[in-house]
Amino acid sequence: MRDSHSLRSAQLLGALLEPALLIGSADDRVIAANGAFAAKLGLEPAVLAGAVVELPRQHHGADERAPMLRLGDRSLPCGALRHCAPVEGGRLLLFGEPPVADRRQHDEALLGYFREALDTLLHYVAIFDREDRLIACNKYYRDTFSSGDRHLPADIELEGKTYRELMELRVRYKLHRELTDDPERFLEERMRRFYEDGDNRVRMANGRITRAQYRRLKEGGRVLVSTDITEIVEAEQKRLELEAQLHHSQKLEALGTLAGGLAHDLNNTLVPILAYSKLLARRALEGSRERAELETIRKSAERAKDLVSRILTFSRKETMGLREFDLGEVVRESLEMLRALIPSTIAIVPTLQPVPLLRGDPGQWHQVLMNLITNAAHAIGYHPGRINVELAPAGRGIRLAVSDNGAGMDEETRRRALEPFFTTRNVGEGTGLGLSVVHGIVSAHGGAIEIESAKGHGTCFRITLPAVGQRTAPVSPALEALALT
């Protein structure tokens, strides 16, 4: 009967897929053999127990050998034993070479398991040998060779091609977002990245953004692992946008605090201006130039009284005193007042059409016109120029546009023009509040403002507003004929 050690050894060897047998160190007799080894000899594993392995003592531990197995009066070739290892009790565990067909099948099975494992990874993975040839990749990497309706032909195999050849395929079939008019430059840049151990952010042909990592393998070759970070990038962009909105809100709060602090001092300053302008106007002759000029001062001072409340309305969204009014009349009055403030070298050209009534605060629209036109004049400077003021229906609403042929703005200035406290003027020449107040007034009236500008080609502020209804305010003959130059 076989002892318990022999039984356990037979059970252990039976679990191995490759040919194996266990021999004693003293007499080289077989203690146990598995089915794979016995099958090589056409025998049952139990028959081999007690057989002697004709193995020279001095070759124990050799990696390659061709021993004979003596079973009774028979000697059988064992085949190559590619490895042996000492185990408990001084015994030796010998491993034989599996048949070529079995070994090939075994290797193919391992490769299949490996590829399936790669396909389960949520990354783009490609492995290259020492000659930079692709030896394995997963389905996510293969998917990068498609872009919309452009696909790599089905008969082209990726495995076996060098990294440069893969990039040449991208160029030939236009399968990459980073392709330029200089394909060779693209190829060299991609090869440079490939040979550098580092990380790169890449936008794939399908629009996704990945973080590509290139690493050198210990035994030669390289591996490329790319991780899709599209959601991370979009979340970061959203975070920056929310931060910008927060900063904008903080500026508005600062603006409201500033307006509240200035209210008392500003009102005290305007009181004597209003009082004396009214007193002097009564003393001047009716219809005289002096009286007209004093009336202009009085009206300007009265509008200035509303400045703080307008800023508070903009920054704190306080309720306005609303009524229906004709925006065309407000534009005409503002242009008459502003004509005296604008250099004579600048022509103010109105194009005013009848428009529906607007519901809102007419005093705030004097402020809008004043800020837009004085800004336009500043952009033109003391050179000959032109400011166009257009008022016209826009569908069921109203369109107001103020344009100039001044210096214009670059893209960064245009993008930030409506921010509170943003100004391109020198210190002491502007507060950066004018256009932000305009934006607040337009928004409070339910409208929108767009800015078109280019450096050296002037600027146009286009405002669209919702109208009360289809009623149209009559336009006076003076308004129709107005052409201030």
What is the model's pLDDT at position 472?
44
In a domain, 206, yes or no: yes
- Confidence grade of residue 377 (pLDDT, cut at 50, 70, 90): very high
Looking at the chain, the whole-number percentage of residues with pLDDT higher than 90 is 14
- Domain end (from 98, 119, 152): 98
Q: Which of 154 and 386 is assigned the larger pLDDT?
A: 386
- State the Cα torsion 352-353-357-363 to the nearest 10°: 0
The CB density around residue 1, as the number of other CB atoms within 10 Å, is 5
Alpha carbon distance 167, 149 (integer Å) = 19
pLDDT at residue 307 tops 70: no
- Confidence grade of residue 121 (pLDDT, cut at 50, 70, 90): confident
Domain count, the chain: 4
What is the model's pLDDT at position 453?
92
Distances (CA, A) of 456 to 406, 429, 459: 7, 22, 9
DSSP string, 393-453: EETTEEEEEEEE-S----HHHHHHTTSTT---SPTTT--S-HHHHHHHHHHHTT-EEEEEE
Residues 148 and 164 in one domain: yes
Helix (H, G, I), strand (E, B) or coil at 255: helix
What is the model's pLDDT at position 321?
59
- Confidence grade of residue 91 (pLDDT, cut at 50, 70, 90): confident
Looking at the chain, the whole-number percentage of residues with pLDDT higher than 70 is 73
- Confidence grade of residue 328 (pLDDT, cut at 50, 70, 90): very high
Q: Which of 402 and 236 is assigned the larger pLDDT?
A: 402
What is the model's pLDDT at position 120?
79
pLDDT at residue 180 tops 80: no
Listing from the earlier edge strand, what are the strands of the sheet with 198-203? 134-137, 124-128, 222-228, 209-216, 198-203
- 42: domain CATH number is 3.30.450.20
Residues 62 and 204 in one domain: no
Residues 401 and 311 in one domain: no
In a domain, 237, yes or no: no
Phi, psi of 472 (to 5 degrees): -115, 130
pLDDT at residue 473 tops 50: no
- Domain end (from 98, 114, 129): 98
- 224: domain CATH number is 3.30.450
What is the model's pLDDT at position 402?
96
In a domain, 233, yes or no: no
Residues 313 and 339 in one domain: no
**346-352 and 385-394: which strand pairing?**
parallel
The structure tokens 């936008």 sit at 203
Residues 362 and 467 in one domain: yes
User: For residue range 65-85, what is the model confidence (pLDDT) as tens digits?
Assistant: 456 777 777 766 666 565 566
Phi, psi of 347 (to 5 degrees): -90, 135
Check: CB of residue 253 under 8 Å from CB of residue 315.
yes
Q: Which of 19 and 9 is assigned the larger pLDDT?
A: 19
Q: Which of 83 and 21 is assigned the larger pLDDT?
A: 21
Produce one character per residue of 19-48: b if its CB has 16 or more CB atoms within 10 Å, e if not: bbbbbeeeebebbbbbebbbebbebebeeb
- Confidence grade of residue 283 (pLDDT, cut at 50, 70, 90): confident
- Confidence grade of residue 392 (pLDDT, cut at 50, 70, 90): very high
What is the model's pLDDT at position 314?
46
Residues 479 and 424 in one domain: yes
What is the model's pLDDT at position 99?
59
Listing from the earlier edge strand, what are the strands of the sheet with 74-77? 52-54, 68-71, 74-77
- 468: domain CATH number is 3.30.565.10
pLDDT, average across residues 136-150: 80
What is the model's pLDDT at position 62?
43
* Structure tokens belonging to residue 282: 């009564």
In a domain, 414, yes or no: yes
Q: Which of 6 and 467 is assigned the larger pLDDT?
A: 467
Residues 445 and 339 in one domain: yes
Residues 333 and 481 in one domain: yes
- 248: domain CATH number is 1.10.287.130
pLDDT, average across residues 234-252: 77
- Confidence grade of residue 376 (pLDDT, cut at 50, 70, 90): very high
pTM assigned to the model: 0.40
Q: Which of 10 and 21 is assigned the larger pLDDT?
A: 21
- Domain end (from 204, 228, 252): 228
Q: Which of 430 and 117 is assigned the larger pLDDT?
A: 117
In a domain, 51, yes or no: yes
What is the model's pLDDT at position 463?
95
Q: Which of 83-92, 191-200, 255-264, 305-314 has the lowest mean pLDDT?
A: 305-314
The CB density around residue 233, as the number of other CB atoms within 10 Å, is 16
pLDDT at residue 474 tops 60: no
Residues 175 and 300 in one domain: no
Q: In sequence order, which residues have a C-beta less than 8 Å from that of residue 12 and are 6 or more positions away?
A: 32
394, β-bridge pairs: 397
Residues 429 and 469 in one domain: yes
- Confidence grade of residue 429 (pLDDT, cut at 50, 70, 90): low
Closest CA to 147 of 123, 127, 169, 128: 169
Task: Return mean pLDDT, the chain.
Answer: 77
Element of type H or E holding 109: helix 100-119
pLDDT, average across residues 463-470: 78
Alpha carbon distance 299, 475 (integer Å) = 22
Check: CB of residue 312 under 8 Å from CB of residue 271.
no
What is the model's pLDDT at position 103?
58
Residues 259 and 398 in one domain: no
What is the model's pLDDT at position 144?
79
Residues 305 and 373 in one domain: no
User: For residue range 330-368, what is the model confidence (pLDDT) as tens digits?
Assistant: 999 889 878 877 888 999 999 999 999 998 888 889 889
pLDDT, average across residues 131-152: 82
* Structure tokens belonging to residue 408: 């214009």
Q: Which of 7 and 347 is assigned the larger pLDDT?
A: 347
Per the structure, the complete domain to which residue 10 belongs is given by 4-98
Check: CB of residue 78 under 8 Å from CB of residue 96.
yes
